[in-house]
Amino acid sequence: MKCLRALLTVLILSAAPLAAEQLFDLKEVVPGVYAAIARPQYKVNCNAAIVLLDDGVLIVDTHSKPSAARALIEQIKTVTDKPVKFVVNSHFHWDHYQGNQAYPGSWPAGIEIISSEATRESIERRGVPRVKHEILTMPTEIEKLKADLAKATDPKQKATLQENLRQAEEYFSELKTMQVTLPSLTFDRSLIIHRKSRTVAVLWLGKAHTDGDVFVYLPREKVIASGDALHGWTPYMGDSYPYDWIHTLEEAERLDFEYVIGGHGDVMDGKGTFELWRQYFRDLLDETADAYAQGATLDQARKRVAAALQAKYSGKFPETFPKDVIPNIEKAYRVVSGATE
C-alpha cells in the first residue's frame, strides 16, 4: 500500500509537467503584471493579462477551452502562490470565455467572473447557441482534416495536419462536456478594484469589437488590457460596431498608459496601434461607402477596396492582411448598404 502510494505520487509528479503544456509565454510587463501571450494552436487561444493584487490575482480572459485555462493556471502558479480571485471576460467571443469553468474549478470559493452586462447577455444569447452549433459542425471539420491528411504527400504538411487533427478531436471532446460558465459580477460603465498596492479599473467605454468590450486599466502602472478592441493582429469585425469602435478607441486613448496587452499578438508600446486602427476603420468605411455610392456590387467593392487598403496598410498589419481584409470589407458593405448579402 505504501509502495502503491509512493508510486502514485511519482506518477502524479511526473504527469504534472505534461498537464501544464506550455500554451503561453509569460512576459512581465511591469512588476507583478504579466502578459500571457498565447502560442499558436489549431483552435486559437487569446492572450491573458495576469495582475497580482495584495490578496489574490486578477486574470483577463480565459481562452477557447477549460484545458487551456488550466494550463495557464499551472503557469500562474510558477509566479505566485496567491489564489485567483477575479476573472474578467473582455467580451463574449468563444476564444475569450470558454475556459471560464476552469477558475471556479480550481478555486471553488471566492472567484468572481466579471464582465459588462452586455457581455454576459451576449454569452447567454449568442455564445451558448454558437457552442451548440459548433458541436454540430465539428464532425464535418474533423472529417475534412482526415480527408486532407489522407491526400497529403509532403511530410511537413502531413505532420501539421496530423497535429491539427489531434487538437481538433481534443477540442471537440472538450466542447461536448464543457459547462458554459457565465460571469457572476456585471456592471454597466465601470467597476474599480481598490487595493493598497494597486487599483484596477474595468471600463466599458462604448461599443467596439462587440457591444460589451471592456478595457482593464491600471492607472498607476500605466498598463491597459484591451481584449479584441485592440490587438496585434488585423481587427476581426464580425460582431462589431465600426463607427462606435472609432469613438471608443478615442475614449481609451484619453487614458494615460504606456503598455497595451491586447487579446492577440504581442504586447504593444504606446498608442500607435490605436491610431492605426482608427485610421484603418475610417478608410475601410469611406472606401466602401464610395464604392457602394458609385454602384459597386459586393464583389466589385471587395476587389476595389482591398486594392486601396493593401496599398496603404500592407506592412502595418500582419502578413495575413490580404486575406483578413476581405471579411472586413464585407462587414463595411453590410453596414453601409444595410444588405446582408
The residue (of 95 and 221) whose beta carbon lies closer to Zn ion is 95
Which of 32, 38, 23, 35 lies closest to 224, judged by CA? 35
Q: Minimum distance from CB of 68 to Zn ion (Å)? A: 13
* Complex with Zn ion: residue 38 or 205, whichever CB lies closer: 38
**Sign of the four-CA dihedral 120, 122, 125, 130:** negative
Per-residue b/e over 110-139, b at no fewer than 16 CB within 10 Å?
A: ebbbbbbebbbbbbeeebeeebeebeeebe
The amino acid at 68 = A
Least distance from Zn ion to the Cβ atom of residue 32, Å: 25
Choose among 323, 330, 202, 188: nearest CA to 255: 202
Rounded to a whole number of angstroms, the minimum distance from the CB of residue 293 to Zn ion is: 32
Residue 81: what residue type? Answer: D
253 in Cβ contact with 217 (< 8 Å): no
> Residue 28 gets which letter from DSSP?
E
Please tell me whether residue 228 binds Zn ion under the rule CB under 5 A. Answer: yes
Interaction residues for Zn ion, span 191-220 (CB under 5 A): none
Cβ 84 to Zn ion, closest distance in Å?
A: 21
Query: Shortest gap between Cβ of 89 and Zn ion (angstroms)?
Result: 11
Touching Zn ion, residues 125-184 (CB under 5 A)? none
**Least distance to Zn ion from the beta carbon of 307, Å?**
27
Q: Do 69 and 62 meet the contact criterion of CB atoms below 8 Å apart?
A: yes
Closer to Zn ion by CB, 68 or 301: give it.
68
Which region, judged by CB under 5 A, interacts with Zn ion, from 93-101, 164-172, 181-189, 299-307? 93-101
Instruction: Give me the amino acid identity at 179.
Output: Q
Strands 268-269 and 259-262: antiparallel
Q: Single out the residue of 47, 72, 73, 95 in contact with Zn ion (rule: CB under 5 A).
A: 95
Residues in binding contact with Zn ion, number by CB under 5 A: 4
When computed from its CA atoms, the radius of gyration of the chain, rounded to whole angstroms, is: 21
- Shortest distance, CB of residue 248 to Zn ion, whole angstroms? 16
Judged by CB under 5 A, the residue of 23, 33, 37, 46 near Zn ion is: 46
Q: Which is nearer to Zn ion, 67 or 288 (CB)?
A: 67
Choice between 104 and 227, CB closer to Zn ion: 227
Of 121 and 213, which CB lies nearer to Zn ion in the complex structure?
A: 213
Give the binding range for Zn ion (CB under 5 A) out of 31-39, 70-78, 153-161, 225-233.
225-233
Query: Is-contact 329 296, C-beta < 8 A?
Result: no
Three-state DSSP class for 25? Answer: strand
Residue 95 vs 213, nearer CB to Zn ion? 95
> Given the complex with Zn ion, which of 89 and 288 has the nearer CB atom?
89
Q: For residues 252 and 202, what is the distance between their CA atoms, to the nearest angstrom?
A: 12
> Could you tell me the smallest distance in angstroms from the CB atom of residue 46 to Zn ion?
5
Pairing type for strands 24-30 and 190-194 reads: unpaired
Binds Zn ion by CB under 5 A, chosen from 86, 207, 263, 287: 263
> How many Cβ atoms from other residues are within 10 Å of residue 142's Cβ?
16
Instruction: Summarize as ranges the residues that interact with Zn ion (CB under 5 A).
Output: 46, 95, 228, 263
